[in-house]
Structure 1
Amino acid sequence: MAIEKLETYQDERLPLVITKQESRLYMSFIYVAFIALLIGGLMGLLQVLVRSGHFTLPAGIDYYQVLTVHGVILALVLTTFFIIGFQFALMGKTVGISDRQRRLGWLSFWTMTIGTAITATTILLGKASVLYTFYAPLQAHPAFYIGLTLVIVGSWIAAFVNFHQLAVWKKKHPGEKSPLLAFMVCINMAMWLICSIGVAVSVLFHIIPWSLGWIPSINVLLSRTLFWYFGHPLVYFWLLPAYMAWYAIIPKIIGGKIFSDALARLSFVLFLFFSIPVGLHHQLTEPGLDSTWKFIQVVLTLMVVIPSLMTAFSMFATFEITGRKKGYGGLFGWLKHLPWKDVRFVAPFVGMLAFIPGGAGGIINASHQMNSLVHNTIWVTGHFHLTVATTVVLTFFGVAYWLIPHLTGRTLTKSINNLGLVQTYLWAIGMTIMSAAMHIQGLLGGPRRSNFSDYGGTEQAAEWGWYQLAQAIGGSILFIAIILMVYIVAKLAFFAPKGEEEFPIAEEEENAEPTPMWLENWKLWIAITIALILFAYTVPIMDVIQNAPPGSPPFDWPIGNS
């Protein structure tokens, strides 16, 4: 009985205060994320140096082993751990967390951490140089897939904790609009839960039995299709937490308010609809998939432009309204009010700017004729580094500058802030050089994932040489920025002066249109999402199974062509 009273008391109190017990949970995720940044960044540096043709890896270290570590540690571990830690903090601040939910949060953390350790061990032992996409027929040690499965299972535990947190809050506040950030977190985790089912089915019933030798072969096209059912929404799983910061955190930092709560919620609902049933646009050049369904999924892919433009409109409306309230006139006078010396704003803002060319590149990648030119070239890698490694990562860095000191009871000092500005500009310069070189080399036919030193002495090597050198220069600058960021995180977590750092959550504009309650209709949004997925994927997957080559089982057992 005493425990129940304690949990009720904490649920009501925690939207205002995050306790030390909660902070330890949230910071544990963030610590792992930045350790992953350091390891993955070092692997990235080795890659660009090797590709420059002027550096050779030590004996016993394979280029594709390094490439796999870089992809898995940064694209999967860094992002997932930071996102879940950040989202737990948002939920704890807005709707509260009980003791039981916190214990499940720890279960999520340790499940993911153990899975990460297992996966990393197999890669470092040279048993899983299959890249983070782990395409069949490349085969890794079974422990690689088991470790990744544990990471996903741990993230599912976190998702159900978040859902339960919001459900408890709604039960206590019947008829009330849920906090915006809690709504956004649950949309993102609902998308993650639905999309990761695809890769979980593929790994559990398809790839692990094959890697254990229980079945002689697998349906390669089916495994790739299930991966990309997961792989594209994975991009939005990374991106939506950055949007959370843009919509609800940045306005507070610049001294403004949220332009429209309703618009923010609607954009997240649209991301839920159009992020999952679109994976075939990553498989436009693959035979075995009907072109009609590729076209349909390309159309659904391009629909995501709508919530993206809604977000851009909302953000710049917030900037302009805030500036004009502060007395700045003229067409662009409002730009002057933005806090250009506050790293909490500057880092995410640079990320926003990077999303302009990044989004344009995404449209090219999803368009069949233009995709044919850049498919599987290093153009795609350059695009990936603009969207995820700049837009998303710089926004996460911007969050870290206030979230870490808030959770550790320290302050963001002027000197750390200025060091953060240097780090941000170094990141922007390094990424501009490296990504631009990747885009240009991709247009010249430079292959994705390949060790370009293998082309030494060829005509292609001579043509690509300057671009590979530029990638090495940009990558080296990026690694310096990574070292600086890790130093800043350690400073904020352990050595900065003790004090209280703001947890900046903005309020909505007073004259904004009221948020309609139908936006809280979770059953309708999930039903529409599932209907779109069934429409977009049922026929293609049936075709892949029915027309599989002899000896390719549809899912798990060696029953041949069905």
Structure 2
Amino acid sequence: MTAVITKDKKVTHNNKGNSKVISSTKVDRKDAKLALAHIMVAFIALFVGGLCGLLQVLVRSGQFKLPFGIGYYQVLTVHGVLLGLILTTYFILGFQTAAVSRTAGALSNKQRKTGWVGFWIMTIGMLAAATMVLLNEASVLYTFYAPLQAHWIYYLGLTLVVVGSWIVGLAQSLRYIQWRKENKGQTSPLLSFMVVVNNLMWFVATLGVAAEVLFQLLPWSLGFIERIDVLLTRTLFWYFGHALVYFWLLPAYMVWYAIVPKIVGGKIFSDALARLSFMLFLLFSIPVGVHHQLTEPGIDGFWKFVQVVLTFFVVIPSLLTAFSMFATFELRGRELGAKGVFGWFKNLPWNDVRFLLPFIGMVAFIPGGAGGLVNASYQMNQLIHNTIWVTGHFHLTVATTVVLTFFGTAYWLIPHLTGRKLTKKMNNLGIVSGILWSVGMVIMSGAMHIAGLFGAPRRSEYSTYGGSEQATEWISYQVAQAVGGTILFIAILFIIGIVVNLLWFAPKGEEEFPIAEVAEGAEKTPALLENFKVWGVILVALILIAYTIPLIDIVQNSPLGSKGYKFW
């Protein structure tokens, strides 16, 4: 069998002379519009959420007061929701739409319409929730912890965001299913497979937060329920909340596994290893949320221990990924003539923003992952629980590893979708933006980690620290956070400028959507890795083992009894 590239499609020819289109070298123009709509909302969220983040660190430094009666927790909620939920979800769904169209083929008209329906449901929900936050009716942080209560429109808005994301993910998954039917017996495109795994994980995880909102928070805020069980709401949230981290992370892994090897001129080290790591993330990302609740009474210590053990299993696919990526880098370096143990390092394309920013993200995940092990450990968690250490950890993992990879991806994806070129000037400005982001994050996140070890609280503004001697020790670290946050906002201005250029002003042309091929000699991918029925059964079993008894205990021992639910 041979393969040839036509103008925009890759075609295979078998020995009988028959041919079949197996992938497109370009994202379909109609699909590109859907992907771009998501990406544009994501970068609007970046600017507004980043501005609120700057205001936060300035307030925490003690040198700035919010004007016009704006509350600290108001901007904190805007920052958390826009960057933690909106920026990430919209960018991920936009990228995944483009990835499926590029590797599995253009969406059908019905699939594309489904995607647009999901997009508009998400956007309506986002605007509704944002309105309530701006009116100071929903300053409950992005975790929306009870007993803090938001306006019912806020909860409904976030519910619409989740439901809309399900619909967009459904459109992507239907295209993958169609490809499997059209190409029976063949291994599916790696990127499309990864998209489906991430969508499945997202759907299963968000069932927890959907149950929390629909059956507890929303009826409570409407007055249909007198009281709610706070421990139950927190448990349902963290059933979702930890898997959310992997919903952020897996698209970055998609870029690392399938796209970065092409950028460096190499090949995918192992298709089977990449699929295995994604299936392991699917299994071990959801039944682990209780490790965020180690200090809370009401959950038996045995079940906390079970979920801590499951949490540490996530190290396995992370190490598989690290091995695969650095094996790819070393093999490519040696192809270019590198000698010695680390000679390959200098042969990487450091002047290419498409590589540099994801690589910085990979490096940041080393201390970020180590901090995650601290968070999930019984004794060490006692020291840092609910301190600003945890915030620093999130800014290393999500706001550096994930977001820098997203930025590096956007710099080639946007011109590919708009029919423009990533010029050398924009490439260099992108490198500057990545360096500024990295420097700002080292300063801000580093100060957060250190202040957290001294006991600085996670969410409090400067004015609540009082005049204690301990609070005095924190002040210098709060100032450092303000310095780092200011540098980060300058980086955001660079990033927004580059995005605007790539959307409307860059010269017309064709920018590659790079997809790497699998290395020769790599082991054939076992069909088991694409058997979602088997992995789905294992996933459900793990969830039932980890959560059935704890949830029964919480409900049976609830102080509400029958008094909680009184519907009018």
TM bin, normalised by shorter chain, reads over 0.9
Q: Which residue of 2 aligns with 1:17?
A: 26
User: Could you tell me which of 214, 220, 223 is aligned with 1:213?
Assistant: 223
Preserved CA contact (<8 Å) 1:438 1:467? yes
SS of the equivalent of 1:511 reads coil
Q: Report Cα offsets for 1:499-545 as digits up to 9, x if no partner.
A: 00000000000111111111111100111001000000000000000
In 2 relative to 1, CA 342–287 (structure 1 residues): closer, same or farther, beyond 3 Å? same
- RMSD of aligned C-alpha atoms? 1.3
Q: Report Cα offsets for 1:155-197 as digits up to 9, x if no partner.
A: 1101211221111100000111011011100000000000100
Q: Which residue of 1 aligns with 2:509?
A: 499
Q: What amino acid is the match of 2:85?
A: L
Q: Which residue of 1 aligns with 2:376?
A: 366
Q: Which residue of 1 aligns with 2:432?
A: 422
In 2 relative to 1, CA 507–210 (structure 1 residues): closer, same or farther, beyond 3 Å? same
Q: Which residue of 2 aligns with 1:64?
A: 73
Q: Report Cα offsets for 1:93-121 as digits up to 9, x if no partner.
A: 11121111111110111011111000000
Preserved CA contact (<8 Å) 1:347 1:397? yes
Unmatched runs of 5 consecutive residues or more in structure 1: 1-10
Q: Confirm whether residue 298 of structure 1 aligns to residue 308 of structure 2.
A: yes
Preserved CA contact (<8 Å) 1:219 1:553? no
Q: What CA distance in whole angstroms lies between the structure 2 residues aligned with 1:308 and 1:79?
A: 20
Preserved CA contact (<8 Å) 2:22 2:104? no
Q: Confirm whether residue 194 of structure 1 aligns to residue 204 of structure 2.
A: yes
Query: 1:18 Cα shift?
Result: 2.1
Q: Which residue of 1 aligns with 2:9?
A: none
Query: 1:290 Cα shift?
Result: 0.3
Q: What CA distance in whole angstroms lies between the structure 1 residues aligned with 2:61 and 2:159?
A: 35
Q: Which residue of 2 aligns with 1:549?
A: 559
Q: Which residue of 2 aligns with 1:539?
A: 549
Q: Which residue of 1 aligns with 2:3?
A: none
Query: 1:12 Cα shift?
Result: 5.4
Query: 1:455 Cα shift?
Result: 1.9
Q: Which residue of 2 aligns with 1:5?
A: none
Q: Confirm whether residue 79 of structure 1 aligns to residue 88 of structure 2.
A: yes
1:391-410 superposed matches below 5 A: 391-410=401-420
Q: Confirm whether residue 92 of structure 1 aligns to residue 92 of structure 2.
A: no
Unmatched runs of 5 consecutive residues or more in structure 2: 1-19
Query: 1:45 Cα shift?
Result: 0.2
Q: Which residue of 2 aligns with 1:224?
A: 234
SS of the equivalent of 1:243 reads helix
User: Could you tell me which of 178, 186, 192 is aligned with 1:176?
Assistant: 186
Query: How many pairs align?
Result: 548
User: Could you tell me which of 491, 496, 503 is aligned with 1:481?
Assistant: 491
Query: 1:239 Cα shift?
Result: 0.1
**If the length of structure 2 is used for normalisation, what is the TM-score?**
0.95
SS of the equivalent of 2:511 reads coil
1:437-516 superposed matches below 5 A: 437-516=447-526
Preserved CA contact (<8 Å) 2:232 2:551? yes
Preserved CA contact (<8 Å) 1:426 1:478? yes
SS of the equivalent of 2:24 reads coil
Preserved CA contact (<8 Å) 2:287 2:542? yes
Query: 1:456 Cα shift?
Result: 4.2
In 2 relative to 1, CA 548–61 (structure 1 residues): closer, same or farther, beyond 3 Å? same
Q: What CA distance in whole angstroms lies between the structure 2 residues aligned with 1:346 and 1:487?
A: 19
Q: Which residue of 1 aligns with 2:270?
A: 260
Preserved CA contact (<8 Å) 2:28 2:101? no
Q: What amino acid is the match of 1:163?
A: S
User: Could you tell me which of 119, 131, 136 is aligned with 1:121?
Assistant: 131
Q: Confirm whether residue 436 of structure 1 aligns to residue 443 of structure 2.
A: no
1:235-274 superposed matches below 5 A: 235-274=245-284
**If the length of structure 1 is used for normalisation, what is the TM-score?**
0.96
Preserved CA contact (<8 Å) 1:218 1:553? no
In 2 relative to 1, CA 13–310 (structure 1 residues): closer, same or farther, beyond 3 Å? closer
Percent of residue pairs identical: 66
Q: What CA distance in whole angstroms lies between the structure 2 residues aligned with 1:553 and 1:499?
A: 65
Preserved CA contact (<8 Å) 2:28 2:102? no
Q: What CA distance in whole angstroms lies between the structure 2 residues aligned with 1:458 and 1:475?
A: 25
Preserved CA contact (<8 Å) 1:217 1:552? no
Q: What amino acid is the match of 2:36?
A: M
Q: What amino acid is the match of 1:112?
A: M
1:377-388 superposed matches below 5 A: 377-388=387-398
Preserved CA contact (<8 Å) 2:116 2:168? no
Preserved CA contact (<8 Å) 2:25 2:513? no
Q: Report Cα offsets for 1:402-431 as digits up to 9, x if no partner.
A: 100000000010000000111000000000
In 2 relative to 1, CA 218–175 (structure 1 residues): closer, same or farther, beyond 3 Å? same
Q: Which residue of 2 aligns with 1:3?
A: none
Q: Which residue of 2 aligns with 1:158?
A: 168
Q: What CA distance in whole angstroms lies between the structure 2 residues aligned with 1:230 and 1:201?
A: 10
Q: Which residue of 1 aligns with 2:62?
A: 53
Preserved CA contact (<8 Å) 2:415 2:503? yes
User: Could you tell me which of 45, 59, 70 is aligned with 1:36?
Assistant: 45
Q: Report Cα offsets for 1:342-401 as digits up to 9, x if no partner.
A: 000000000111000000000000001000000000000000000000000000001001
1:516-531 superposed matches below 5 A: 516-531=526-541
Preserved CA contact (<8 Å) 1:217 1:551? no
Q: What amino acid is the match of 1:250?
A: V
Query: 1:552 Cα shift?
Result: 6.8
Preserved CA contact (<8 Å) 2:228 2:560? no
Q: What CA distance in whole angstroms lies between the structure 2 residues aligned with 1:332 and 1:383?
A: 29
Q: Which residue of 1 aligns with 2:4?
A: none
